[in-house]
């Protein structure tokens, strides 16, 4: 019994340093990337707010759509400049609002993380909000 207890040892100092370094790296990645996805959730919410009951996207002008999204961005503190590029495509019987942008964040030194978001709202299928639509 005594012999097996002597052979059972925990993690050494070097092992703990490796564990802490790996955990620190993943925490750093999470703290840098999660805010990008959180901001995109606000943009998706803004697009969904455009088609709330009682409003018709086809009746709104491009300026009204951009103003409503801009107000939503201001209230929800959306800071990404690329997300301000709102494209409104009008066809005969549908309106497609596109907010396509790239978010870039510096991870450390010269290593950046780039996340590409494509949010499309089609007035003919508002329940499928924020997934890219076929042209």
Question: Each residue of 39-52: pLDDT tens digit?
Answer: 999 999 999 988 88
Joined tokens for residue 77: 């503190």
Would you kindly state where each structural domain of the chain is located, as residue ranges? Answer: 35-128
> What's the N-to-C CA distance of the chain in angstroms?
73
Taking residue 48's Cβ as centre, other Cβ atoms within 10 Å add up to 14
Note the pLDDT of residue 3.
60
Confidence band, pLDDT 50/70/90 cuts, at residue 102: very high
- What does the pLDDT average to over 10-39? 94
Percent of the chain with pLDDT over 90: 50
For residues 94 and 30, the model is more confident at: 30
Give the three-state DSSP class for 85: coil
CA dist 107 and 16 (Å) reads 23
* Spatial contact of 129 and 46, defined as CB atoms under 8 Å apart: no
**Of 34-43, 69-78, 121-130, the least confident:** 121-130
Taking residue 30's Cβ as centre, other Cβ atoms within 10 Å add up to 10
Note the pLDDT of residue 124.
84
Question: DSSP readout, 38-69?
Answer: HHHHHHHHHHHHHT-TT--GGGS-HHHHHHHH
* Spatial contact of 71 and 65, defined as CB atoms under 8 Å apart: no
- What does the pLDDT average to over 56-82? 88
Note the pLDDT of residue 6.
66
pTM exceeds cut of 0.85:
no
């Amino acid at each position: 019994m005594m012999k097996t207890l002597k052979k059972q040892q925990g993690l050494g100092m070097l092992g703990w340093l490796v564990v802490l370094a790996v955990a620190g790296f993943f925490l750093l990645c999470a703290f840098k990337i999660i805010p990008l996805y959180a901001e995109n959730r606000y943009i998706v919410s803004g697009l969904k707010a455009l088609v709330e009951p009682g409003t018709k996207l086809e009746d709104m002008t491009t300026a009204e759509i951009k103003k409503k999204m801009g107000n939503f961005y201001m209230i929800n503190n959306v800071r990404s400049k690329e997300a301000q590029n709102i494209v409104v495509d009008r066809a005969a019987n549908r309106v497609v609002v596109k907010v396509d942008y790239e978010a870039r964040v510096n991870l450390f030194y010269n290593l950046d993380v780039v996340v590409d978001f494509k949010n499309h709202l089609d007035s003919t299928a508002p329940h499928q909000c924020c997934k890219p639509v076929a042209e």
